[in-house]
């Protein structure tokens, strides 16, 4: 178990540039922050503010142009990528399914990391799916079922940190509730650290211990969730919470 005294993830002056057709622009601009271990940090902000890019840096899908990121005190440059991705797992809104059965998708961790999957049916049940889906083709699942399978596939590796990018946005309200309850239970029982991007402010309020607001590649506000919503420090935060941000 990692030391609870170290930040799960630490960002030090992170800048990331993307080169467009006309010019280079900073999609992240000097991000400095610490993710508390064992906590759920909800990340909110307008579309295009850099939230997904920030998550992609955490397990080296992208690399920063400036600054340094550490996971449990160890700079990303010192991690072997397979080990990092066992520890820090990213789940997207539209996670791609592999051709083949649900079971074949779940067994990805065995093929990639050598993790033994003792009870794949139990893994499905943990995310609200039934065991009889194991032999069904993953491509035939509904959008909500595919999202839950993507989550189950990630949980098979028992990561210490989960990076969640709008993972419930395509789900119906009942499925959203089930996925939220599953993740809250994981956080409570296993101490799994999470950074959870959501565009639903009520969801951020429900699930977050801490909430961050990003606007135009900058981290505008970081606070415990109660303070974030009831006593924000910045005018941009007040406008965003009120739905007045354009």
215/147 Cα distance (integer angstroms): 27
Q: Where are the domains of the chain?
A: 9-97+165-241
Q: What is the pTM of this model?
A: 0.89
pLDDT for the residue 145 = 86
pLDDT for the residue 1 = 46
42/208 Cα distance (integer angstroms): 5
For the segment 106-147, what is each residue's pLDDT rounded down to a tens digit? Answer: 888 777 767 777 889 988 988 889 999 999 999 999 877 888
To the nearest whole percent, how much of the chain has pLDDT over 70? 95
Average pLDDT score over residue span 190-201: 95
In the chain, count H helices and then E strands.
10, 10
For the segment 47-92, what is each residue's pLDDT rounded down to a tens digit? Answer: 999 999 999 999 999 999 999 999 999 999 999 998 898 899 998 8
Residue 208 · residue 196 · CB < 8 Å:
yes
Q: Does domain 9-97+165-241 have CATH number 3.30.70.20?
A: no
């Amino acid at each position: 178990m990692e030391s609870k005294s170290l930040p799960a993830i630490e960002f030090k002056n992170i800048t990331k540039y993307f080169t467009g057709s006309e010019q280079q622009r900073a999609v992240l601009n000097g991000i400095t922050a610490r993710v508390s271990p064992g906590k759920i940090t909800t990340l909110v902000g307008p579309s295009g503010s850099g939230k997904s890019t920030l998550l992609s840096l955490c397990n080296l899908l992208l690399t920063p142009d400036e600054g340094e990121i550490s996971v449990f005190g160890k700079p990303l440059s010192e991690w072997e990528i397979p080990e990092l991705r066992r520890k820090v797992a990213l789940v997207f809104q539209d996670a791609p399914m592999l051709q083949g059965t649900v079971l074949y998708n779940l067994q990805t961790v065995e093929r990639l990391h050598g993790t033994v999957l003792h009870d794949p049916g139990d893994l499905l049940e943990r995310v609200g799916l039934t065991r009889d889906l194991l032999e069904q083709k993953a491509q035939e699942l509904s959008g909500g079922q595919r999202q839950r399978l993507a989550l189950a596939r990630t949980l098979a590796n028992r990561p210490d940190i989960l990076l969640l990018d709008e993972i419930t946005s395509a789900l119906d309200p009942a499925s959203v509730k089930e996925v939220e309850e599953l993740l809250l239970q994981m956080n409570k029982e296993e101490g799994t650290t999470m950074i959870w991007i959501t565009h639903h402010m009520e969801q951020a309020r429900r699930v977050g211990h801490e909430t961050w607001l990003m606007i135009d590649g900058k981290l505008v506000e970081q606070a415990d969730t109660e303070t974030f919503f009831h006593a924000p420090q910045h005018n941009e935060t007040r406008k965003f919470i009120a739905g007045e941000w354009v």
